Amino acid sequence: MIDYINLFSKYSFFDIRYNELLKNHTSFKIGGPADIFIIPNSLDELIYAIKIARVEKIPYFIMGNGTNLLVKDGGIRGVVIKINGNIDKLTVEGEKIKAQAGALLANTSKFALENNLTGMEFASGIPGTVGGAVMMNAGAYNGEIKDIVSKVTVLTKDNEIVTYTNEEMNFGYRKSRVIEEELVVLEVEFSLKKGKYEDIFNRMQDLNEKRALKQPLELPSAGSTFKRPEGHFAGQLIDTAGLRGLRYKDAQVSQKHCGFIVNLGDATYKDISTLIKIVQKTVKDVHGVDLELEIKVVGEDL
């Protein structure tokens, strides 16, 4: 760790911290320290930080809003680069919106509403960033990011800035070219359609009310814990296996939606991981179905 700090100390950044607890930056409120934690102030600083890490051969991890993420109790070695609200510029031209990677989906959806553009209502309650949503092709209520993306600008592993079309992004269920090739999303262009403000607003309100009613938004979680098994719904399988409300220390299968595992207050990665394994084994024993994680697990054990 000291070597990493010495290497990075010669560079100047808008915000650079050492031994930063990642539980303060994840929606699960779980995670040990990052050796080095950087919050770039612009796209140029983001690219600069990544290039430095690559040149100095420092391991790095790109973090968005910290949703859909479970960080281990030992934290992350090397450098964590957080793409946040400093990189969230939104612009509109006709029926297209350009959004920098750090823009929140909720804010981008609101921006679409303000410009009378429809098609993004399904994403208004997804808590992640635009970059993270594109990476995993996030979706909800019969809509997916792939349905509205026209172009994605990325930084490749060779430090080249490249723009891909929707067809070139290899979108699939919770996957994309970003994951396949370890790309870094910089900016996204959404192609929407003109609509009526009142209709768009009402649709967003309706979906957000459904989320509040059916999802445990009042407790820390990483969203849906498991991917949807083909022909099934993860939450339903967990529920009918008798696991609703099952608790291991402060980790619990949500009483409101069994597809969510929540942090009741002081859960650690080890607690969440133990409960996940119990759920997976029980569902396999009862239903014969393997549950695959939708959340991303990163970091090191204590």
pLDDT tens column, 254-302: 999 999 999 999 999 999 999 999 999 999 999 999 999 999 999 999 8
Indicate whether 182 and 285 sit together in one domain. Answer: no
Distance, in Å, from the CA atom of 118 to the CA atom of 242, rounded to the nearest integer, reads 40
Quote the percentage of the chain above a pLDDT of 70. Answer: 95
Q: What is the pLDDT of residue 16?
A: 87
Indicate whether 73 and 104 sit together in one domain. Answer: no
Mean pLDDT score, 183-207: 97
Pairing relationship of beta strands 33-38 and 16-21 according to DSSP bridges: antiparallel
Domain annotation covers residue 224: no
Indicate whether 112 and 202 sit together in one domain. Answer: yes
pLDDT tens column, 53-87: 998 888 999 999 999 999 999 999 999 999 987 89
Tokens 């934690």 correspond to what residue?
37
Indicate whether 104 and 202 sit together in one domain. Answer: yes
How many other C-beta atoms can be found within 10 angstroms of the C-beta atom of residue 178? 22
pLDDT above 90 (res 12): no
Which CATH number belongs to the domain containing residue 71 in this structure? 3.30.43.10
pLDDT above 80 (res 51): yes
DSSP track, 18-39 = EEEEGGGSSTT----EEEEEE-
Reduced to 3 states (helix: H, G, I; strand: E, B; else coil), residue 199 is helix
Which CATH number belongs to the domain containing residue 284 in this structure? 3.90.78.10
Domain annotation covers residue 223: no
Q: From 40, 68, 65, select the one nearest 52 (Cα to Cα).
A: 40
Domain annotation covers residue 226: no
pLDDT bin (cut points 50, 70, 90) of residue 13 is low
Q: What is the pLDDT of residue 4?
A: 65
> What is the greatest pairwise CA distance in the chain?
56
Mean pLDDT score, 147-170: 97
Surface-to-core class of residue 120, CB atoms within 10 Å of its CB (0-12 exposed, 13-18 middle, 19+ buried): buried
pLDDT bin (cut points 50, 70, 90) of residue 8 is low
Which CATH number belongs to the domain containing residue 129 in this structure? 3.30.465.10
pLDDT bin (cut points 50, 70, 90) of residue 204 is very high
Domain end, chosen from 82, 117, 133, is at: 82
pLDDT tens column, 105-156: 999 999 999 999 999 999 998 889 999 999 999 988 888 999 999 999 999 9
Tokens 């792939």 correspond to what residue?
146
Domain end, chosen from 82, 99, 124, is at: 82
Q: Which domain holds residue 257?
A: 234-298
pLDDT bin (cut points 50, 70, 90) of residue 10 is low
Arithmetic mean of pLDDT over the chain:
93
Specify whether the backbone of 265 is left (phi greater than 0), alpha (psi in -120 to 50) or beta: left
Indicate whether 153 and 38 sit together in one domain. Answer: no
Which positions are catalytic? 174, 224, 294
> In total, how many domains does the chain have?
3
Domain end, chosen from 55, 82, 109, is at: 82
Domain annotation covers residue 219: no
Distance, in Å, from the CA atom of 263 to the CA atom of 256, rounded to the nearest integer, reads 13
The pTM for the full model equals 0.91
| Beta strands per DSSP E along 10-113 | 16-21, 33-38, 60-63, 69-71, 76-82, 90-93, 96-100
Mean pLDDT score, 169-182: 94
67's tokens: 């949703």
